[in-house]
Amino acid sequence: MSNVIGIGARPLRKEDQRFLTGRGNYVADIKRPDMVMGVFVRSPHAHAGIKSIDATTALAMPGVLGVFTGEDLKAAGVGGLPCGWGITGKDGLPMKEPPHPALAQGKVRHVGDPVAFVVAETREQAQSAADTLVVDYDVLPAVVGVLDAIKRDAPLLFDDVPNNLCCDWALGDKAATDAAFRKAAHVARISLVNNRLVGNPMEPRAAIAEYNAATGQTSAAASA
Amino acid sequence: MNISFVLNGKPTSVDVEPSMLLCDLLREKLSLTGTHVGCDTSQCGACVVHVGDCSVKSCTLLAVAVDGARVTTVEGIGKPDALHPMQLAFHENHGLQCGFCTPGMLMSSVEFAKRHPNPTEADVRHWLEGNLCRCTGYQNIVNSVLRGTAAMHAEQGA
């Protein structure tokens, strides 16, 4: 070990021991009295209307406590997931930001879009019940890839977002850039397509919440 | 079904559903939550344990399959005050950050070290292709495994 102190030092982490010996406390490791488990039912289709969700069989299965859908969230007034960073397009208008409910409402828009949440006393019971849920889909044409999505006749994901275009964005001094290009000895052109980026930590997304009726407080733990 | 096996050196007998996975037996029934489930599809390697001397993905093995076997989890190779040489090497070489992949990395690496007394960096990278990490970056993990392997063999030779 180096004897450098402060900046440039190579300190050993103090939190390692619990992680090295299997004594970390991740969300899935937490157990609470009377804890119940929830499982998502997700769309197998990239684009489809939800005609109906039949939970009759699931609700009659052992241990099942509830089956919740997007319509239940809507009825309960639960909001959606807003985008954390809005931008303004070249036309001076804010980007299109359609609703993003936690459970799909009316339509699924990607494979894996959550359509229902099944709650039961154990994870196995919730999973078994989730497998019996009958979701009747009206499968719609899908596009994959941003360039196909903005073609004139591409199927629309949101009826009120023409051309599937969130926004056309530009940054910088266009006049100065154009002038620089005009004076350039050589001009090269290149099209760049950014791949989709997803923050994807090893610990799966998980959350546990506990409501204390005596104090009216809810405590929650979630993976980042 | 009743199964008996040796878990981290301790004879263990337990009733399990025939459909129960080894990772769920360890985590849910036996409260050994050091074995993690990151993907459930045998890709991430966070659930690796030893059955006998082999590292296996416990999310892909039925619990009943270990009847009569020796099973070792990350809790069984070292303690916070007495780390296994591989655990110590991960600590000293910054081989972990969030720690979620670490139990699987360690269990895979311990078997690797036993099989490879003088490994190259390429040997380590090839062996660990079934273990994913999303935060440390693999360089420090590879460094840790090389140091840990050397330490394990030095300890045996001493």
In a domain, A223, yes or no: no
Structure tokens at B75: 């809790």
Distance CA A12, CA B96 (A): 11
3-state SS assignment for residue A43: coil
Give how far B68 is from chain A: nearest CA, Å: 24
Give how far B79 is from chain A: nearest CA, Å: 6
Ordered by start, the domain boundaries in chain B are 2-75, 85-157
Confidence of residue A224 (pLDDT cuts 50, 70, 90): confident
8 A C-beta contact, residue B95 and residue B141: yes
Q: Cβ-count burial of A141 within 10 angstroms (0-12 exposed, 13-18 middle, 19+ buried)?
A: exposed
- Beta strand A114-120 with A64-69 is antiparallel
CATH number of domain containing A117: 3.90.1170.50
Closest chain A residue to the Cα of B49, Cα to Cα: A22
Residues in Cβ contact with B55 at an 8 Å cutoff, skipping those fewer than 6 apart? B48, B49, B107, B108, B110, B111
Give the pLDDT score at A2: 59
Distance CA B116, CA B153 (A): 10
Among B27, B91, B100, whose Cβ lies nearest the Cβ of A203?
A: B100
Residue B145 belongs to what H/E stretch?
helix B138-157
Query: Does position B157 have pLDDT exceeding 80, yes or no?
Result: no
Range of the domain at A76: 20-169
Interface test with A, best of B50, B81, B97 (most A CBs within 10 A): B97
Q: What is the pLDDT of residues A39-61, one digit of tens each?
A: 999 999 999 999 999 999 999 99
Give the pLDDT score at B107: 98
In a domain, A123, yes or no: yes
B102–A26: do the CB atoms touch at under 8 Å? no
Structure tokens at B93: 């070489």
Summarize the confidence of residues A170-180 as an average pLDDT. Answer: 94
Higher pLDDT, A199 or A30: A30
Query: String of b and e for A159-175 (b: at least 16 CB within 10 Å)?
Result: eeeeebebbeeeeeeee
In a domain, A38, yes or no: yes
Q: Tell me the helices (H) and strands (E) count for chain A, helix number first.
A: 6, 8
Q: Which CATH number is associated with domain B85-157?
A: 1.10.150.120
Q: What is the ipTM of this complex?
A: 0.94
Starting at the edge strand found earlier in the chain, the sheet holding A48-54 runs A107-108, A48-54, A134-139
Q: What is the pLDDT of residues A128-144, one digit of tens each?
A: 999 999 999 999 999 88
Domain B2-75 indexed as CATH 1.10.10.60: no
Angle at B72 between CA A32 and CA B123, to 5 degrees: 120
Report the residue count for chain A: 224
Site of tokens 């954390």:
A84
Rg (CA), chain B: 15
B24: number of Cβ within 10 Å: 22
Domain count, chain A: 1
Give the pLDDT score at B1: 94
Distance CA A81, CA A101 (A): 6
A-chain residues near B96 (CB < 8 A): 16, 19-20
Confidence of residue B158 (pLDDT cuts 50, 70, 90): low
Confidence of residue A90 (pLDDT cuts 50, 70, 90): very high
8 A C-beta contact, residue A104 and residue A25: no
DSSP assignment of A18-83, as one string?
A: HHHTT----GGG---TT--EEEEEE-SSSSEEEEEEE-HHHHTSTTEEEEEEHHHHHHHT------
A201–B37: do the CB atoms touch at under 8 Å? no
Summarize the confidence of residues A23-38 as an average pLDDT. Answer: 94
A16–B99: do the CB atoms touch at under 8 Å? yes
Site of tokens 């950014």:
A194
Q: What is the pLDDT of residues B32-82, one digit of tens each?
A: 999 999 998 899 999 999 999 999 999 999 999 999 999 999 999 998 899
Site of tokens 């096996």:
B5
Site of tokens 């699987």:
B104
B75–A20: do the CB atoms touch at under 8 Å? no
Name the nearest CA neighbour of A80 among A138, A147, A158, A144. Answer: A158
Give the pLDDT score at B80: 87
Query: Does position A1 have pLDDT exceeding 60, yes or no?
Result: no
3-state SS assignment for residue B139: helix
Q: Which residues pair with B2 in a beta bridge?
A: B15
Query: Does position A177 have pLDDT exceeding 90, yes or no?
Result: yes
Residue A67 belongs to what H/E stretch?
strand A64-69
**Is residue B137 left, alpha or beta, with left meaning phi > 0 and alpha meaning psi from -120 to 50?**
left
8 A C-beta contact, residue A43 and residue A140: no
- A-B contacts (CB, under 8 Å): 83
Q: Which residues pair with B62 in a beta bridge?
A: B21
Distance CA A188, CA A181 (A): 10
Phi, psi of B25 (to 5 degrees): -60, -45
Among B74, B91, B101, whose Cβ lies nearest the Cβ of A16?
A: B91
Mean of the per-residue pLDDT values of chain A: 94
Residue A16 belongs to what H/E stretch?
helix A16-20
